[in-house]
Structure 1
């Protein structure tokens, strides 16, 4: 149940604000002199040796942090649970009998185990936020397009973002300062409680999540899903799947591919997205983006649960996993569709298992989000 696929080490600069800290990276990031397998033995066998390190890692290295390994991911980053049949599932240190979350599973596990101080992942539909919630960590999905994805495996380019995880808000913020400049912890003008999002959660999780959110300062209630949660999901699904097919479809369907059944099924579903679905989804996304931009223009931040339920038990039935993914995607697709930054905070628990609470800010307000996270957890 190791988090790692490689123990590659890259020393950071001799001095800098992150000197003495260590980090890991998801095996979607190029690291000079290594191959990236993307959670797939077929990809690893064909992968070239990287000529350069992904550009987004360079500021952390220049700030003095040292890379201590590449971490496991769901195959082709297609998963919410971290159970890769080729590599095995990393341990969830906060709930050992449960999945760590995916697809940035190894990154969350490595941080949760205390092996490294922080770890980079990617987030398309929740792949940093969900592992953060499941493992009781702080996890940031950055504004789409804010940080370079050069040298990373693409999945769905209009959704793909870089993010990172840490055990505390201070470390999360210190990493953020390498990219966004100095950040002073400060509360937002208002925290908007998406009260209707509780209906997406199982009752026990809704209860502890509600208590955690209602304890936050400057709280105002509002209705998030004016169009209904199903509308958000119906907008997200065809767009993301269409891009998945465009990115990986031809490669994944070549004869002799050794894909796991779940990923092969997902690629097959992606192939079947219709023109009618796309014709609905493209303008629907634009309308949702406009509404969220107007809502958050004054610097307010939305609060809602990160996931609808506790992390599933390891080796849960596939049917149960599919149902789980759909319900949690209704929560995580909000920031993904609207290209917004989001942080999951470990503010609640149920029977000793972490329950993440998320904050969503306006586009480009990554620094303000990190500032709010630290102010709220100080």
Structure 2
């Protein structure tokens, strides 16, 4: 009789030629500008880089499970690597929507990818079921005790793990910002634009937006310059008015979060920006309405997708989808009217407060560790015992249709969790947000990230 244990050992050893002690290639740890300079200067051949990157991507995905489909770049592939969330269409890749059985094979890529060049698309990355489920199965490369969270989990993990330099996700209530913040990298939600989300699964069309994840703000700025993708180039202006959102201190944020918020303000002030407090008023109070709108629109969307998918959704996903049925039509119309009024009033909100950018934490709490009790549903509904805390801070940008960038400013007292802040700006101000985050990182150093 064959030794089955030995046969199994040989099988798994052959399937993973590298091992758990394999370290990432040192060139991968370089800032992206330095890596490209090394390639341009002849210090590293393109074929050599691609071989290193392909080998590491396989090992890294084995460890962190960021990808649903991973392909080698090949010897002459462009040196910049892109991963795309699995609810975003990419021609030549299957789109699975985070489901076990469903897939389609799009003839064309999502609109936001149309102008891209100089990038090798090497992966479709993990998402939760239909953008709205709980649990991804991904590990967290730099903060292994922290749950990466968010439906764009694979984007944050793939970038932090060194599988790709840039990842494209989607953000409704924070789905790009949460995993980026919890993996210690940078996540940018774009200004809401219905044309920009063609070729992406619609979850809440009123708030859906593309989002980009990169390792650092400087990497994101460089990718904006080189990739042809619709990421505005970084802008640097002196003396910007930064409004620290006053309601944060009044709403019970944890002391470590408030300390990190002060640190972020100091980092920006060190670059000559004027930091003061600013109130959001009604917009702050409408954070819950953003969750209700997402629930209602997801439920409406399910009427279209349920007949087209063969999967039986997990209980948590089904609860999230079905929660939208409780938002009746009068309440739905009321929220839509509030959203239209809010977006029309955004310029006045910035002008009246005399600020250019708002600064606030990503969340009121230090990121949850793995193993913490999971919620029954990904969508917080009115009546939750800790509703105001659970709806968090990310809906501010979502409901107003604004760009928002999350960036790391430090670590928790025990060193186990990243502490991330958000910058929220006027429509179209993404370049300004990237520039501010880059300035903050120059002062904070890499200790804020790893």
TM-score under structure 1 length normalisation: 0.86
Aligned pair 1:361/2:425, yes or no? Answer: yes
For the residues of structure 2 that align with 1:10 and 1:223, how far apart are their CA atoms? 47
In structure 1, the partner of 2:340 is: 286
In the alignment, what sits opposite 1:194? Answer: 245
1:2-61 CA-partner distances (Å, limit 9, x unpaired): 1000014678997xxxx521121111111213221111124x2xx33211222322333x
Structure 1 residues 204-260: Cα deviation after superposition (integer angstroms, max 9, x where no partner): 32233333324421233334342384x313321222222111222453488974111
Q: Which residue of 2 aligns with 1:111?
A: 159
Which of the pair has more CA radius of gyration? 2
C-alpha deviation, 1:118, in angstroms: 1.5
Asked whether 1:373 is paired with 2:437, we answer yes
Aligned to 2:99: 40
Question: Which residue is equivalent to 1:4?
Answer: 67
Shift of 1:197: 1.5
Relative to structure 1, is the Cα distance of residues 204 and 78 closer, same or farther in structure 2, using a 3 angstrom cutoff?
Answer: same
Tell me how far apart the structure 1 counterparts of residues 280 and 177 of structure 2 sit (CA, whole Å). Answer: 20
1:242 counterpart = 2:296: yes
In the aligned structure 1, how far is the partner of 2:83 from the partner of 2:183?
A: 16
Distance 1:259 1:305 in 2: 33
The structure 1 residue matched to 2:198, chosen from 147, 150, 153, is 150
RMSD, aligned α-carbons: 2.8
Which residues in structure 2 correspond to 1:2-81 (within 5 Å)? 2-8=65-71, 19-42=78-101, 44=102, 47-60=103-116, 62=117, 64-79=118-133
Closer, same or farther in 2 for the Cα pair 1:201/1:182, shift >3 Å?
closer
* 2:25 matched residue in structure 1: none
Other-structure match for 1:317: 373
Tell me the secondary structure at the aligned position of residue 164 of structure 1. Answer: strand
1:341 aligns with 2:403: yes
Three-state SS of the structure 2 residue aligned to 1:220 is strand
- The C-alpha deviation readout for 1:331-354, integer Å capped at 9, x for no partner, is 111110111000001112212211
2:282 is the alignment partner of 1:203: no
TM-score, normalization: structure 2? 0.73
Shift of 1:72: 0.4
Q: Which residue is 1:185 aligned to?
A: 236
Q: Is 1:188–1:372's contact at 8 Å kept on the other side of the alignment?
A: no
The whole-number CA distance in structure 2 between the counterparts of 1:348 and 1:188 is 24
Separation (CA, whole Å) in 2 of partners of 1:255 and 1:24:
24
Going from structure 1 to structure 2, the CA distance change for 1:212 and 1:180 (only over 3 Å counts) comes to: closer
- Does the residue aligned with 2:392 lie in a helix, a strand or coil? helix
1:67-88 CA distances to partner (integer Å, 9 max, x unpaired)?
A: 1111001111115xx613xxxx
Give the 3-state SS of the residue equivalent to 2:178 in structure 1: helix
Q: Which stretch of structure 1 is more off in the superposition, 257-266 or 243-252?
A: 243-252
**Which residues in structure 2 correspond to 1:61-140 (within 5 Å)?**
62=117, 64-79=118-133, 83-84=135-136, 89-140=137-188
* Number of residues of Structure 1 aligned to a counterpart in Structure 2: 362
Q: Secondary structure at the match of 1:59?
A: coil
Provide the residue aligned with 2:279 in structure 1: 224
SS at match of 2:291: helix
| Paired position in structure 2 for 1:269 | 323
**Structure 1 unmatched ranges of 5 or more:** none
Which has the higher mean CA deviation after the structures are superposed, 306-315 or 355-364? 306-315
